[in-house]
Amino acid sequence: MNLYEFCYGIIHWLVDLVNNLWYWLGDVLPWVFGDFFDAVGDFAASDSNIAFFTILTEVLIIVIIALINVLNFIWLDRKFMGRMFDFYGPYYVGYRIGGWLQNLADGIKLFVKEIITPAKADRVGFLLAPVIFISSSFLALATIPLGRDFGIATNESGAGVPAGVLVAFAMFAIAPFSILIAGWSSNNKYTLIGGMRSAAQMMSYEIPMLLTVASVLLLAGSFSFSGVVDAQHDLWFAIPLFLGFIVFMVCLMAEVEIQPFDLPEAEAELVEGWTTEYCGMRFGLFMMTSYLRGYIGGALATALFLGGWHGPELIPDPIWFLIKAYTVFVIVEWTRWSLPRVRVDQILDIGWKRLMPLAVLNLFIAVAFKTMGWF
Amino acid sequence: MWINMGPQHPMTHGLWNLRVKVDGETIVDAEPEVGYLHRGIEKLCEDRTYPQIIPISDRLCYGSSMTWSHLFCLTVEDLMGVEVPERAEYIRVAAIEMQRIASHLMWLAAYAADLGLMIGFIYTMRDREVFIDILQALTGSRITYNYPRIGGVAHDVPPTFGRDALRACSYMEKRLREYEDLFDGSKVFMMRNVDVGKLRKEDAMNLGVTGPPLRASDVRYDLRTDMPYSVYPEMDFDVATHPDGDCYSRYRVRMIEMAESCRIIRQAVQKMPKGKWRIRAPRNAPVGTGLGRVEDPRGEGMMYIVGDGTDRPYRVKIRSPIFVTVSAAPKMLIGYKLADVVAIMGGLDMCIGETDR
């Protein structure tokens, strides 16, 4: 049973329940409404309607999973940072579960803060930017399955979407657009510079990243996550494509704006970068989404290079997937706290002069493997 | 496009304003503005007796308050002609050098945070605690010590002072090697520092830059050896210089200075004679002037006091090293990127308390 069937079952049961109520009402009150209840019941029980609600339920489940993952990630980040920095990290709120509730407390604090829109900001862009940023990030999550049959965008036979990898990366790449809008519409010099930096950085890092992804897809011979992961049943792609894995991780850190490459929000020179003018829960949503993007990055690296949900049978598939994604995230955090920030011209140099040739070389290696018939 | 980096900005470490004109990301013009934190300390001093000024002079710089109260006492001793007991001089030197290490560590912490190296911030601040603890045992407080007195120091050293100081020095020397791994060993750190914010030797001398920025521009000028005060002539230490004049040189100079400070503390503790630590100084200053110059962690600090025969100074003039050094900011900034502002201005170790006085 995959996630779709699970949700379908639940929705079907619910609809039946409600329908019975309506049929009963139709029996009891026929002189008032006539056949109205029967018509409603038939409509509700139609396949298309149930499928619609099934997909909504799936989306809800995935969003809840994503949000819990984000809370976990923030908690993990702060705990790990605390251990690196010689303090405990979150401790008192949720004392029994290691301070896990601290994030919820912070979220509540952000919720009750006043939300200010700057007087001279471009209101439409200012309000639209978070929406695009958050929704595109959640959409990127849509096609990434946690297990063979546990993901939102699965069709009814349980296989993933045919071009899931492409959809995920396309959604992942929308964010710089919203960052640029946010930076420009805030009408602030720092946000403007941050937005421009973000655009330049993400454009120059998108290409080597997609080249490494192309090498993976070439070896796997499939555009769907299930295909890519199944191709790694015997050997993780991180081993033959080690070069590509390194390039991918560096590009990922740039895409997710993690510390050595967090130029768009370099807090030392640009105050808070492109989020400077956002306050309250809008900023909270931005921050939450950046952690969500960290999770997506870890999930992408896991699915494409680290064998996805394959692992010893002891642990269920989705848990394997999460363990790997969390490990990738922790390693990224480790580099994040122990490296200074690079400069804007240097980041472009790294992207175009170092990573780009390496990515092309990696693609050649993949082609060579494929022509030798090893994959 | 003119950008106001300040007065409220993470880069400033205080309350000042750096206006930079950028073309894209390249800086084409820069203009430092100080004066937001002016507290009128020079005027305050005119209304207080000499011992009452010592805590005020502590408030000149939050990073190295011991140096400034010592400078004030030095100047008043010059004005009054007071001979300080030798033990007090050794205690002062040990305390000042500890203060120098603490100040440099605070600079390193702020600098690492500016560059985005958060772990550098935490580790340096943690090691600063070692010296702050010793100073707390010595003086009773952590930031503003109010320890030197006109004619000596407030108290004798605690019995464990020598042992703690030696331990702290050997700990610090070990940690300094670790910092070199952390900072110099990091490729990104070198990328951000080498050949950034070049200050030529001539410019540095013409603009009156002193302290580590001057020595990083390959000028061997250190008041501890060039115009020795206190018991520095009896200490054996090297003046750190570096030939390049960039941000990396300033970092190197300060790192070497911390190691040399450890050497000085060691010698001061070992050579410390027994005897009195304070003598009674006269209440009223004679009519005349007193001048004191010390090597502050940030450069040359100078005080000039005019006494008019009463127990209050007629005029106190404070020369702040950073107030002069910041005027070299345009020379260093122009032509570099916006992100280099934090490296360059962070490398100067701005302390607004003494700049605006």
Please tell me which residue of chain B has the smallest CA distance to A267. B10
**B186–A86 C-beta distance less than 8 A:** no
Q: A25 with A35: CB under 8 angstroms?
A: no
Contact call for A193 and B186, based on CB within 8 A = no
Give a yes or no: residue A53 inside a domain: no
Q: Would A58 be classed as within a structural domain?
A: no
Q: Testing the interface with B: which of A84, A269, A335 to mutate, by most B Cβ within 10 A?
A: A269
Q: At residue B266, does pLDDT exceed 60?
A: yes
Rounded to whole angstroms, the Cα distance separating B257 from B172 reads 12
Answer for the pair B76, B305: CB distance below 8 angstroms, yes or no: yes
Residue B196 belongs to some domain of the structure: yes
Give strand pairing partners of B291: B304
Q: Among A190, A258, A339, which would you mutate to test the B interface (most chain B Cβ atoms within 10 Å of its Cβ)?
A: A339
Hey, what are A208's tokens? Answer: 């080597």
Question: Is the residue at B110 inside a domain?
Answer: yes
For B213-234, the DSSP string reads HHHHTT----HHHHS--TTGGG
Residue B162 domain flag: yes
Inter-chain residue contact B116 with A271, CB threshold 8 Å: no
A306 domain residue, yes or no: yes
Are residue A13 and residue A131 in the same domain, yes or no? no
Q: Mean pLDDT over residues B46-60, rounded?
A: 88
Give B5's strand partners: B18
Domain with B216 in it: 42-294
Q: Quick check: A268 and B116 CB within 8 A? A: yes
Same domain, A213 and A338: yes
Q: What is the pLDDT of residues B177-208, one digit of tens each?
A: 888 888 888 888 888 888 888 888 888 888 88
pLDDT at A354: 87
pLDDT at A150: 67
Domain of residue A33: give its range.
Answer: 3-45
Total domains present in chain A: 2
State the Cα–Cα distance between residues B328 and B316, nearest whole angstrom: 26
Higher confidence at residue A11 or residue B107? Answer: B107
Hey, are the CB atoms on A345 and B122 less than 8 Å from each other? no
- Cα angle, residue B349 at apex, residues B346 and B352 outer, rounded to 5°: 105
Residue B226 within any structural domain of the chain: yes
User: Looking at the domain assignment, is residue A198 inside a domain?
Assistant: yes
Q: Which of B61, B15, B33 has its CA nearest to residue B303?
A: B61
Note the pLDDT tens digit of each residue in B143-176: 888 888 888 888 888 888 888 888 998 998 888 8
Domains held by chain B: number: 1
pLDDT at A1: 55
In this structure, is residue A56 part of a structural domain?
no
- The H or E element containing residue B264 is helix B247-271
Answer whether A334's CB lies under 8 Å from A249's CB: no
The pLDDT of residue B306 is above 80: yes
Stretches in chain A below the pLDDT threshold 70: 1-4, 22-23, 25-38, 40-42, 44-45, 149-161, 375
User: Residues B178, B183, B185, CA angle at the centre, nearest 5°?
Assistant: 85
Looking at residue A30, its pLDDT comes to 61
Q: Do the domain assignments include residue B194?
A: yes
Mean pLDDT rounded to a whole number for chain B: 87
SS3 label, residue A271: coil
CA distance A300 to A325: 8
Of B122, B192, B338, the CB nearest to A85: B122
**Could you tell me which chain A residue has the CA closest to the CA of B24?**
A193
User: Tell me, what DSSP letter sits at residue B303?
Assistant: E
pLDDT, residue A155, reads: 55
Q: What is the mean pLDDT of residues B299-318?
A: 88
What tokens does B188 get?
Answer: 């990104």
Q: Does residue A285 form part of some domain?
A: yes
Residues whose CB falls within 8 Å of the CB of residue A127, separated by 6 or more in sequence, listed in order = A117
Does residue B348 fall inside a structural domain? no
Indicate which CATH number applies to the domain containing B57.
1.10.645.10
Looking at this protein, which amino acid is placed at residue A331?
I
Considering only the beta carbons, identify the residue of A189, A271, A346 that sits closest to B1.
A189
Residue B158 lies in a domain: yes
- Indicate the residue type of A270: L
Q: Is A97 a member of any domain?
A: no
**Same domain? A223 vs A313:** yes
Shortest Cα–Cα distance, A343 to chain B (Å): 6
Distances (CA, A) of A38 to A16, A42, B200, B353: 13, 6, 90, 81
Nearest to B116 among A86, A271, A341 (CB): A341
Over residues B234-250, the mean pLDDT reads 87
Is position A110 within any domain?
no
Q: Are residues A132 and A250 in the same domain?
A: yes
Nearest CA in chain A to B342: A269
What CA–CA distance (Å, rounded) separates B133 from A50? 69
Q: How far is A184 from chain B (nearest CA, A)?
A: 15
